[in-house]
Amino acid sequence: MDKWHNIKECGKFILKSHLTFVLLGAIIRITEITTCSHLMLEKNKSDFAKIAEGVLRGSVFDTSISGMALVLPIIVLGLSCTFGFIKKSIIKGFGIFVGILYALSVAISIGNIPYISYKMANLCLADLSYLSKPGEMIGMLTGEPLYFAFFVIGWILVAAITYIIWKYAKSANIKESDNSSFAWSNLVATLLATTVCFLLIRGNNPPTNDKKAIFGRPVTFIFAIYSDDAFLNLSAQSPTFGLIKEITHLGRKIKTGISNEEAFAYINNLRKQTRASLKDVGQDSSKNVKKNVVMIIMESMSANFMKTFGNESELTPCLDSLFAHSYAFYNAWSNGARTNNAIFSTQTSLPGCLNINMLETPLSKENTALAPMLSANGYSTNFFLSHHKTFDNISVFFVAQPFDYIHSEEEYGFREMEWGLRDSTLFSVALDSINHLTKKSDRPFYSAILTCSNHPTYSIPSPYNEMYTQMDYCAVRYADASIDSFMSRASREPWFENTVFVFTGDHGRLVGTPDGIVASSLNHIPMFFYGKDIKPAKDSLLMMQIDLAPTILDLLGIDCQEYSGLGINRLKMTRDTAIYTSNNYFIARTADKAYFLDMDTNSGTLYDLNEDFTLTNCQTGNIPEFDKQINMQIQALYTIQNREK
């Protein structure tokens, strides 16, 4: 028997599998670009050369992923041929193995298409938390027409790629033999194939510092940044490649170059200033009566949905009216782009760190959150959720940062949508609970309400579900109407006039065409204080979710020298820079600049700001001053976590 025969058959299986996967990856990438073309800059929609370049660059990442799936089959099949004990069952087994790995990547890529349209980002590990709630995940995938379409397409392609790869393996004409014999030629072929496979996995970024070298750096997402179009750069990446990179970096801390001593000094100085701003606020005679606080954390409520910020679709008549009669922060930014970040930052006054679920961080009671601080000053505290309190680790986190009670689906005993209660029902439950509480006790109260209806899967009641052709617009209109109804009913209650209402978005959402590598609408949120004694004002200086707690303490006249967050009291202090996270970026925003630091590539991008806070005039290159500010905040958070363990 020809010693080359079996290794050639195995080689055909490997090569056909690889080419099929890369071709399918290109087709999926083209589908993504076509489906999400509204995210592309207008000038690039007809630039087919630029689009094609992105598809080809994406194929480099697909090739790397394919290499990872094929390296084990190449080694095992090659050695089996080398020593002459190759069996049909072995290659069939690897047909199933490779097919499953390819199928997982295909499923991720297909699921990424509706996700990128919603988030202007690729899937990351934080999104896999939904796997712990399969009911909600499947409901979300099947409940929206766009999601359902790709859910079905995904299953078809997963089945197809698995079947095709298995057929490649089955059709391999392996000649089995009982007489094993060593073949040097097969060993050499195996070593060469393995070497090529590792080179494909590694990829090749151009060498740095103009050094001439055959190989530059291993491929990273900087290879996908080839144009001025944020969407094209994003589509040239691979969500599977990103997930693998995240997994390999689990547990690693970002190297900030900042010492713990520098971070301690930064933390202590910031806390000293904020505590000083709160000192003796209780002596203000206008604040002698303890006011109640209702904080409404609005799901996915970007400021860009509001007419106040230029949206002409009349989505938020209630919020626009409240905003105009409030102490309103026009230049307010969420600390992260996820709900768990918002809960963490609004309640602890601490920032988040990229795609980490901050509710799983090891903070102890030494870090004083808003609810315990108010509880120490005689307040009763309640948090209202639409869903299970176990979701996103909420209940465990609040063991150390306790509320008197967390109201959730476990208490309600029913749900109206995949995520629990609709906003109108949740507000009704919260109002009834607050009324019951005030009748039982004369203690002031702090109640936080986290809404959910403005999140896919949408379950919007009539007539709001027919007001717009875009279901996400219907969801925003319904969320606004629910707030309107709640405020109208609350205004008739005796506790209303002695209550400060705090409104904030948990994060934003992609609205319209992205204005930069990360759309401003993802983090620009409405934030305002409304109440009888709140003097309306238009504040255009920088404001963040971490600033809410100390600012609320000032409003309430509470001199809290135990404050341990990293926010500032915005009634008496101003911030030069707002630092927040979105997708894989840390963003530092000043009055006239916005700087984006890509933590995967450590590359910086600087923008000028328009009057409406949107981005313009892109310039690439790191800015050391901004890099240091970002790294200082990161190290400060690490330092706090280490001290709290």
User: Could you read off the pLDDT of 254-267 as tens digits, one per residue?
Assistant: 888 999 999 999 99
At 73, the pLDDT band (50, 70, 90 cuts) reads very high
Task: Flag whether 57 is in a domain.
Answer: yes
What's the confidence (pLDDT) of residue 216?
61
Question: Are both 196 and 321 inside the same structural domain?
Answer: no
Beta bridge partners of 294: 447, 501
Residue type, 158: V
What's the confidence (pLDDT) of residue 644?
44
Helix (H/G/I), strand (E/B), else coil: 554: helix
Helix (H/G/I), strand (E/B), else coil: 205: strand
- pLDDT tens, residue by residue, 466-488: 999 999 999 999 999 999 999 99
Angle of helix 48-83 versus helix 239-248 axis, rounded to 10 = 60
**306 CB-near residues (< 8 Å, 6+ apart):** 315, 316, 319, 320, 323, 526
**CA atoms of 166 and 563, how far apart (whole Å):** 61
Question: Are both 338 and 432 inside the same structural domain?
Answer: yes
Question: Are both 244 and 357 inside the same structural domain?
Answer: no
> Which has more confidence, 396 or 19?
19
Question: Are both 39 and 185 inside the same structural domain?
Answer: yes
Question: Are both 318 and 431 inside the same structural domain?
Answer: yes
Check if the beta carbon of residue 192 is closer than 8 Å to that of residue 11: no
Task: Flag whether 620 is in a domain.
Answer: no
Q: What is the mean pLDDT of residues 421-443?
A: 95
What's the confidence (pLDDT) of residue 130?
61
Percent of the chain with pLDDT over 90: 63
Residue 239 CA: distances (Å) to CA of 103, 111, 134, 386? 14, 10, 21, 30
| Helix (H) / strand (E) containing 527 | strand 527-530
Choosing from 545, 575, 605, the residue where a domain stops is 575
Q: What is the mean pLDDT of residues 145-171?
A: 88
Check if the beta carbon of residue 528 is closer than 8 Å to that of residue 323: yes
Q: What is the mean pLDDT of residues 565-572?
A: 95
Task: Flag whether 114 is in a domain.
Answer: yes
Question: Are both 155 and 25 inside the same structural domain?
Answer: yes
Phi, psi dihedral angles at 307 (to 5 degrees):
-65, -30
Task: Flag whether 223 is in a domain.
Answer: yes
Question: Are both 158 and 43 inside the same structural domain?
Answer: yes
User: Of 10, 36, 14, which Cα lies nearest the Cα of 117?
Assistant: 36
What's the confidence (pLDDT) of residue 289?
72
**CA atoms of 157 and 110, how far apart (whole Å):** 9
Task: Flag whether 273 is in a domain.
Answer: no
CA atoms within 13 A on the CB side of 272: 6
Comparing 351-355, 515-519, 601-605, the range with the smallest average pLDDT is 351-355
The boundaries of the domain holding residue 120 are 3-248
Whether 38 has a pLDDT exceeding 70, the answer reads: yes
- pLDDT tens, residue by residue, 205-228: 765 554 555 556 788 888 888 888
Question: Are both 479 and 354 inside the same structural domain?
Answer: yes
Task: Flag whether 285 is in a domain.
Answer: no
Helix (H/G/I), strand (E/B), else coil: 570: coil
Question: Are both 197 and 311 inside the same structural domain?
Answer: no
**206 CB-near residues (< 8 Å, 6+ apart):** 216, 217
Choosing from 521, 554, 575, the residue where a domain stops is 575
Task: Flag whether 603 is in a domain.
Answer: no
Whether 426 has a pLDDT exceeding 60, the answer reads: yes
Q: How many domains would you assign to the chain?
A: 2
Question: Are both 232 and 346 inside the same structural domain?
Answer: no
Angle at 577 between CA 326 and CA 594, to 5 degrees: 100
DSSP track, 117-141: HHHSS---GGGGGGGG-HHHHHHHH
Question: Are both 217 and 337 inside the same structural domain?
Answer: no
What's the confidence (pLDDT) of residue 114?
86
Percent of the chain with pLDDT over 70: 91
Angle at 283 between CA 286 and CA 380, to 5 degrees: 75
| Helix (H) / strand (E) containing 607 | strand 603-609
- pLDDT tens, residue by residue, 84-136: 888 899 999 999 999 999 999 999 999 888 888 888 888 887 776 666 565 65
What's the confidence (pLDDT) of residue 413?
87
What's the confidence (pLDDT) of residue 142?
58
Whether 364 has a pLDDT exceeding 70, the answer reads: no
- CATH value at residue 530: 3.40.720.10
- pLDDT tens, residue by residue, 278-292: 987 766 656 667 899
What's the confidence (pLDDT) of residue 555?
94
What's the confidence (pLDDT) of residue 293?
98
Strands 585-589 and 603-609: unpaired
Task: Flag whether 357 is in a domain.
Answer: yes
- pLDDT tens, residue by residue, 516-568: 889 999 999 999 999 998 999 999 999 999 999 999 999 999 998 889 999 99
Whether 32 has a pLDDT exceeding 50, the answer reads: yes
What is the widest separation between alpha-carbon atoms in the chain? 100
Question: Are both 66 and 166 inside the same structural domain?
Answer: yes
pTM of the model: 0.87
Bond into 463 cis (ω within 30)? yes
Check if the beta carbon of residue 565 is closer than 8 Å to that of residue 550: yes
- pLDDT tens, residue by residue, 304-332: 999 999 999 999 999 999 999 999 999 99
Choosing from 248, 283, 301, the residue where a domain stops is 248
